[in-house]
Amino acid sequence: MYLGIDIGTTSVKAGLFTHDGDLVRGAVNRYRRFRRYESFAEINPEAFWLALCEALRELKPPSDISGISIGGHGPSPVFLDASMEPVAPSMLWLDRRAEREASMLSELLGRPVQPSWYVPQTMWLRNHKPEIFARLRKVLQPMDYLAWKLTGSLTASIASKEILPWSDEEIDAAGLDPEIFPEQRIMGELMGWTKTDASRRAGLPGGIPVFAGAPDFVEAILATASFERGIVCDKAGTSEGIELCWDAPVEGFYTAPHPLDGSLWHTGASLSTTGMSMEWVASLVSKHPWELAAEAEIAPPGSGGLIFLPYLSSERHSISAVGAMVNISLNHGLPELSRAIMEGCACAMRQVIDRFKERGAHIKEIRTTGTQSISRLWNQVKADITGLPVVSQRVPEGEMLGAAMIAAYGSGDYHSLQEASRCMAHPNERFVPDSTTGEMIFEQFRMAAGGIPHTKSIK
């Protein structure tokens, strides 16, 4: 049995899985709070640890766990002092305060650097909080912070030698001490064993091997076995990761050798607030997001002319847009609003996929995972609007399944991550597109987006 742990933007998820990828039981624990204002988005990193402990106590892990792997969101640096205690809040990937630092690095390196990345965020701490920076000794990813809590090992989990949270080139250009960034371990490599004291608090036995994890988008790729040419993995949670496997780099997007097959290429884009849009509206009307998903079932395709632009925060990957609700009237209610969110998110996704196609990619299907994929309607809406088949997964929480696959591989029970993925990933349902309906909705979205001031398409 394997324990897969995913550190999400809003919650920690932990699941126990069999060798065949069956979920024995899982637990989810949401963070009490993270602060979001202006260009800042931050959380006390201790919240990651407390949420993990609560989730594991609920899970009640047995003693016969073969391995653990922890993956998760980012970039969200955890800043630690000499005692390995946090010296400042963790800046979440939504945080844009390091714009100036990122611009400086971009100029020095001659390539784009995002303000949410680890190095510019660390530079921001040095430039704006020198008294705190003076105490800084280590910068960790959230997943590695929790691995350190469990094992006492200070290492950084990476997906591959090409997909890195930070590079020596960035560190040197920023004038930072390379010693504050820990040694790296590729996913599946041993990080250490659970310590007795930490394990007791988290409800884990001591002596369990913990293997280096991976960013959430790689976990999702594993969980959907999306390492074939022309397959898109839709990591559909709080935000949306649109991950293409192709045989060449795709210009204009983040691209790197594929972490699971060096003969192929991984191209990724993201939408920051798709699932968060539904969560946000649900919080305004004191409902659960799944109550809104049920409301959306009542509304007709096209949401009665209501159009939602799902850009509620700063976007990454060359997307510059603003959020809007267009054509709203007294004739619209919660069903139309809820469905419009689903349709708007699918339209934004279609824009990304269309740009992949314009640059030569041929896409066969979308394999979806994450909280959004639980909704059959949302899956169908994505199929209709993109014009591509959408395949859901038997285990919708793909990130924690992907982490369990890494643990299974690290434990030696599979010869490769590809083998673990093929054996443990199981498709659930295939949604065939109704392109007539989808084209109508997308054309209305495109026209509405073009009429909003200061809105630009993907470059």
The 10s digit of each residue's pLDDT in 30-56 is 986 666 555 688 999 999 999 999 999
Q: Which of 214, 246, 274 corresponds to the end of one domain?
A: 214
DSSP strands (E only) in 346-423: 365-369, 390-393
Rounded CA separation 317/311 (Å): 13
231 and 151 co-located in one domain:
no
pLDDT in tens, 419-432: 999 999 999 999 99
Residue 456 forms part of a structural domain: no
Query: What's this model's pTM, rounded to 2 decimal places?
Result: 0.94
79 and 12 co-located in one domain:
yes
250 and 140 co-located in one domain:
no
Residue 34 forms part of a structural domain: yes
250 and 307 co-located in one domain:
yes
Split into its structural domains, the chain has a count of 2
The CATH code of the domain that includes 343 is 3.30.420.40
Rounded CA separation 363/169 (Å): 34
157 and 176 co-located in one domain:
yes
Which pLDDT belongs to residue 289?
92
Which pLDDT belongs to residue 435?
78
Residues of the chain short of pLDDT 50, as ranges, are 455-459
Which pLDDT belongs to residue 455?
42
Residues 195-209 as b/e (b if ≥16 CB within 10 A, e otherwise) read: beebbeebbbeeebb
**Percent of the chain clearing pLDDT 90 (strictly above):** 85
79 and 162 co-located in one domain:
yes
204 and 276 co-located in one domain:
no
293 and 152 co-located in one domain:
no
Q: Which domain covers residue 413, as residue numbers?
A: 225-450
Rounded CA separation 131/145 (Å): 22
- Tell me the two tokens of residue 330: 């007294």
Residue 99 forms part of a structural domain: yes
316 and 370 co-located in one domain:
yes
344 and 372 co-located in one domain:
yes
